[in-house]
A and B are shown apart, each in its own frame.
Chain A
Amino acid sequence: MEVYLDNSATTMCYPEVGELVYHIMCRDYGNPSAMYRKGMEAERYIKEAKETISKLLKVNAKEIIFTSGGTESDNQALIGCARANRRNGNHLITSCVEHPAILNTMHYLEEEEGFRVTYLPVDECGRIRLDALKEALCPETILVSVMYVNNEIGTVQPVAEAARIVKQYKQSILFHTDAVQGFGKYKIYPKRLGVDMLSASGHKIHGPKGAGFLYVDSRVKIKPIIFGGGQQKDMRSGTENVPGIAGLALASKMIYQDLELKTEHMRELKTHFIDCISQIGNVKVHGLTDEGSAPHIVSAGFAGVRSEVLLHTLEDRGICVSAGSACASNHPAISGVLQAIGTPREYLDSTLRFSLSEFTTKEEIDYTLETLYNCIPMLRKYTRR
């Protein structure tokens, strides 16, 4: 049995999306900047994609920039705003549990461009401490970035509250959210949340890889970070990835169809899964297990078993999961998020992330549980003496 439980790393493309991407690549392959009809047809895909996505977010179509994915969206948001608003101050705020696309961009701005960055601490569930945010805000602050859903443990951040605090302190401070794990799981309306910028990625929502978007409120001052032919109103040069963009838009539309049913389905499986693994003994589910956590992510430590060993054991039985966060798994370092929430030592290097999708079935979850029941006692026999 093949069970894919690594949907926070990437997802299967919806077949309809795959077909559309293929069709555009092979048939409607025109360059959207071209003057003839074929170019215009390609341009139409982009226009429609903007409309689809802006409708889902309830924003203006002009406020969507297409990028190569979550990482580029985050880079564009942070670097582009930091540079454009430097005159108003040089202080940035983020949390210590952000994705590397945020953290490493912040490090770059700190080390190479002279900005000062505050990394907010989190509570034992992984939620940013709002009191710490209040304390960190200062007249120099120009930008705050807080993720929507944590990619490693699934904690939903109090984005609306954080944005409110920031805007109450000073209306002109910009607020960005990395919603790569939240978009497609929650209905997100940036304007109601008080969010000025939002990053999302196609391949986490059953769309193509290499396509993502950044929502930027029309009042935000931002500079491009990629230069060239001036596409997308000079904000993001480079011939538009038409198949990717159209695929991203179709996937966005599809994932939001019957969203409540889908999240309910995932939530049910997640709760069932957590209830059952807790019975194994010496298992710790990180973060929150209720509505305060995303419906598709379970992060759990199995004391006495190295996560890589358990991962390969599951792999051998057809089950794909990741150790910590897949994006960081080529550097087998201990997860910063797990450390930040004060995880006990024995769970730090024994944690796996199971991430579900709307396609995950009860049978798959039960098969995974059965495999865990069988393997963990066996693996626990062989621990370093």
Chain B
Amino acid sequence: MEFHSFLIKYGEIGIKGKNRYIFEDALVRQIRYALQSVDGEFLVHKCHGRVYVDCEGEYDYEETVESLKKVFGIVGICPVVRKEVKDPEGLKKDVTAYVGEMYPQADKTFKVEARRANKRYPMNSMELNCALGEAVLDAYPEMKVDVHDPEVRLNVEIREEVYIYSEIIPGPGGMPVGTNGSAMLLLSGGIDSPVAGYMVAKRGVELEAVYFHAPPYTSERAKEKVIDLARLVSAYSGPIKLHIVNFTDIQLAIYEKCPHDELTIIMRRYMMRIAEHFAKKNGCLGLVTGESIGQVASQTMQSLAATNAVCTLPVYRPLIGFDKKEIVEISEKIDTYEVSIQPFEDCCTIFVAKHPVTKPNVERIEKSEINLADCIDDLMKTALETAEVITVGA
């Protein structure tokens, strides 16, 4: 069947009172972003408190739906058949033809939900419900009316044109990106952090990201992999500004001057400090990490407290209560899993103690960090100044 438009259903954003237009405008903007790489011409517009995507001429239906399914804020996507407004007899023919094509078995329970936005039409909504229901029953004896719990809700809207639709493809839910400020994601090459970014973007938050590389201990390919992950997340979140920080010298200094079992935790504290620096500089309202309680030594409650202690911005950890399996499921759904598990060598293992502390004490860690006093300011300055910034997914 050929569809000419999509009616976009949005949930939560409908209840935002006077701010509603902000949410709708963001939704329209994100839909346009999502469709820019799809074959076809699309007109995205707001009309009578709804958002429509009109498809002009030839377009790729599957690709369009797949792209719309990535736009946060969309609860449902209804493929619409558009017909010109005709007299009641002509309208009946269009509607029965639609039913015949959508449901070839024609054995469903149904209900007609007509709306007459175009008040010049000779029948009102109630009359339309009756007349169209009757026409469907006449044409398909196996169809039955059920006004309480129908299998098919046959929507017929009379506007400048007639819109007919009955299917709802579920959208991702959430809120349109750009309606809830921005946050700085600590992105590694692993499975968790892209999922964390996705989760926060789902609540309407725009993303920036920071990645720490440590040449020659990590390779150029590992960096490419992170860029690829950012690109995959950007399909949902919109463009991501990615800050790539050379962390080698800081890592080596920690390695030389601090107790070995505290390396990871001290390293993470410096990563948080750097991430916060870029967050504040760019007006981000929080940091986002992929941490989950107890997953590894650096993610125990004590370790999280120790890394958290260096930040003044809130740190959002959307995966905090998730098991690895649940995180993997989401990463598979958003297509980041395959990339995350690419085995590029991670030579940072030399910086990982065989038995890292699992219950670090903040005061002790702070004392260890004093060992870095003579060099860390310069090293941090260099790391911040030499960071490479690229925008992914624009």
Residues of A participating in the B interface, judged by any CB pair closer than 8 Å: 306, 308-313, 315-316, 330-332, 382-385
Contact = CB atoms under 8 A, between A and B. Distances in A.
A322 to B, nearest CB: 13
B217 interface: yes
A99 to B, nearest CB: 21
Given A382-B350, A385-B260, A385-B353, A332 B345 contact: yes
B219 interface: yes
B216 A315 contact: yes
A88 B219 CA distance: 50
Interface in B351-381: 352-354
Interface residues of B, number: 17
B326 to A, nearest CB: 28
A7 to B, nearest CB: 21
A313 B252 CA distance: 15
Nearest to A330: B343
Contacts of B389: none
B215 A316 contact: yes
A67 B345 CA distance: 33
A312 B343 contact: no
Interface of B: 215-220, 252, 255, 260, 343, 345, 347, 349-350, 352-354
Given A311-B216, A312-B216, A382-B255, A306 B347 contact: yes
Nearest to A333: B343
Most buried by A among B216, B217, B218, B255: B216
A383 B351 CA distance: 8
A306 B350 contact: yes
A316 B255 contact: no
Given A312-B215, A312-B216, A385-B260, A331 B343 contact: yes
A310 B215 CA distance: 10
B82 to A, nearest CB: 48
Nearest to B350: A384
B343 A309 contact: no
A1 B252 CA distance: 27
A382 B352 CA distance: 12
B260 A308 contact: no
B252 A309 contact: no
5 contacts: A306-B350, A309-B216, A309-B217, A309-B350, A315-B220
B370 to A, nearest CB: 21
Contacts of B220: 312, 315
A371 to B, nearest CB: 12
Given A316-B216, A382-B255, A385-B260, A308 B345 contact: yes
Nearest to A332: B345
Contacts of A330: 343
A316 B219 CA distance: 10
A312 to B, nearest CB: 3
Contacts of A310: 216
Given A330-B343, A332-B345, A382-B252, A312 B219 contact: yes
Nearest to A379: B216
Given A308-B216, A311-B216, 5 more contacts: A308-B219, A309-B217, A310-B216, A316-B216, A332-B343
A243 B217 CA distance: 41
Contacts of A309: 216-217, 347, 350
Nearest to A314: B216
B265 to A, nearest CB: 16
Contacts of B260: 385
A384 B343 contact: no
Contacts of A308: 216, 219, 345, 347
